[in-house]
Chain A
Amino acid sequence: SQQGEEDPQALSIQEGENATMNCSYKTSINNLQWYRQNSGRGLVHLILIRSNEREKHSGRLRVTLDTSKKSSSLLITASRAADTASYFCATAPAAGNKLTFGGGTRVLVKP
């Protein structure tokens, strides 16, 4: 079973627009991570946010974490065609070492 559930499953936007995707999880976490995957290739780590952090930025990426609601969001600002990919959230538990991935959000950025 998957710890994280992502919403929406797919997203289509125009270049220059912002893309927002959400991730919900069920159990206590140590950190939550976001990854990008281009068309069946390996995953690329985007950002890690710890359970005691509420917001984190990296370039055009902004991640929020609400541990009371067990949810996180990833915002990509000023999207580009190259941002077309699947985005996954993954949770690392408070104790233990098993990273659990959500189902992913497929993002299509149209030029």
Chain B
Amino acid sequence: KAGVTQTPRYLIKTRGQQVTLSCSPISGHRSVSWYQQTPGQGLQFLFEYFSETQRNKGNFPGRFSGRQFSNSRSEMNVSTLELGDSALYLCASSPSRTFNRLETQYFGPGTRLLVL
């Protein structure tokens, strides 16, 4: 099976702009999670979707949003970008056959976002 793919791989934006990142999970995986990784804060959970429903959300401002489509592909959007949003954004998919249980995560290569 193909792995998790993320597009774009690199992105440069300026403050105040918005950005949309895309993630295609492994075929058959219904759970998609997003994480932000920065040198200062480490890996932080953004949100998780299962069958188009957001099941859980991390402690990020409302500028961070996401969605999942019927084919399990997911997008995350960050509006009104700030310098501190510069990070590696990682997407992960999971078989997660049980609705309320999180199993092994399979990560994509990430999108590196630089906000100038």
Taken together as a complex, chains A and B put the C-alpha atoms of A41 and B103 apart, in Å, by 21
Q: How many residues of B contact A (CB 8 A)?
A: 29
**A40 with B88, Cβ < 8 A, contacts A45-B106, A96-B100 known:** yes
Does A42 lie within 8 Å of B42, measured CB to CB? no
Contacts of A93 in B (CB 8 A): 102
Q: Does B43 touch A at the CB level, under 8 Å? A: yes
**A42 with B56, Cβ < 8 A, contacts A96-B100, A97-B96 known:** no
Does A95 lie within 8 Å of B42, measured CB to CB? no
Q: Does A20 touch B at the CB level, under 8 Å? A: no
A to B contact number (C-beta, < 8 Å): 68
Taken together as a complex, chains A and B put the C-alpha atoms of A93 and B55 apart, in Å, by 14
Does B88 lie within 8 Å of A99, measured CB to CB? no
Taken together as a complex, chains A and B put the C-alpha atoms of A102 and B37 apart, in Å, by 12
Q: How many residues of A contact B (CB 8 A)?
A: 26
**Which of B4, B50, B102, B108 meets A92, CB within 8 Å?**
B102
Q: Which of B19-48 contact A (CB under 8 A)?
A: 31, 33, 35, 42-45, 48
How far, in Å, is A99 (CB) from chain B's closest CB? 5
Does A98 lie within 8 Å of B58, measured CB to CB? yes
Taken together as a complex, chains A and B put the C-alpha atoms of A100 and B58 apart, in Å, by 10
Taken together as a complex, chains A and B put the C-alpha atoms of A88 and B35 apart, in Å, by 14
Does A101 lie within 8 Å of B108, measured CB to CB? no
Contacts of B112 in A (CB 8 A): 40
Q: Does B1 touch A at the CB level, under 8 Å? A: no
**Which of A33, A99, A103 meets B45, CB within 8 Å?**
A99
Q: Which residues of A contact B (CB under 8 A)?
A: 2, 30-31, 33, 35, 40-45, 48, 88, 90, 92-93, 95-104
New A-B contacts (7) at CB < 8 Å, excluding given A97-B55, A104-B42:
A30-B101, A31-B103, A43-B90, A45-B106, A96-B100, A97-B100, A98-B58
Q: Which residues of B contact A (CB under 8 A)?
A: 4, 31, 33, 35, 42-45, 48, 50, 55-56, 58, 88, 90, 92, 96, 100-110, 112
Per CB-CB distance, the 8 closest pairs between chain A and chain B, nearest first, are: A101-B43, A42-B107, A43-B107, A97-B102, A92-B102, A42-B109, A98-B56, A45-B104
